[in-house]
Structures are given as structure tokens and as C-alpha cells.
Amino acid sequence: MIVLRRKVGQAIHIGKDIRIVVTEVESNTRAHLGIEAPIEVPVHRLEIHEAIQQENCAASQGDARAWLQEAVNDA
């Protein structure tokens, strides 16, 4: 992991077109980051990303079409 020291107002550039700016630091406990990224790059808090990813994987772990057909047959 690369660790960089940045002050408020300073930025980090990643790849071709991702820019992260430190906009505020609360008493050395929490940093506020501004993120500019292309539309096709999703930006989420890690814990939310992991929770949604887990849900999506669970939702696609079975045969959705077979389940749907079975549900129709049972109706």
C-alpha cells in the first residue's frame, strides 16, 4: 500500500483521470475526501461496497431463470 501525506486542499492523482482531494480533516480523526472520477468508475465507501457486493453475489448464486420458471409453474 502506498501511503502519502497530504494537507487540506492537496490532492492525489490516480491513473489517467481520478483525482482525490483532502477537503477537511476533523481533529485528526476523520478525513473528508473529494473524489473526481469518470462516470464508469463507481465510488462507494468500502463497507457499503462490500455489503452490496455480498448481497449481489448471494442474489446471483443460484439459477435465476430456473427459479423464476418454477415460481411461474407454482403460481
Partner 1 sequence: MMHEEQSWKAVAEIDQAEVFHFPQGLVGFPGANDYVMLNSGHGDIVCMQATEQAEAAFLVSPWDVNRLGKQPELTSDQKKCLQCRNETRLLWLLVLNPFSDPAWVLANMRAPVAINLDASLGMQCVQANPELDLHFHWMCQPGQSNQAA
User: Which positions lie near partner 1, rule CB under 8 A?
Assistant: 39-42, 44, 48-49, 51-65, 67-72, 74-75
Distance CA 58, CA 49 (A): 14
**Which contiguous run of DSSP H or E holds residue 50?**
helix 46-59
Three-state SS at 55: helix
Report the nearest approach of partner 1 to the CB of residue 16 (Å).
16
Q: Which is nearer to partner 1, 13 or 49 (CB)?
A: 49
Q: Which is nearer to partner 1, 23 or 56 (CB)?
A: 56
Report the nearest approach of partner 1 to the CB of residue 18 (Å).
14
What is the 3-state composition of the chain as percent helix, strand, coil, each rounded to the nearest 5?
A: 35, 25, 40
Report the nearest approach of partner 1 to the CB of residue 9 (Å).
22
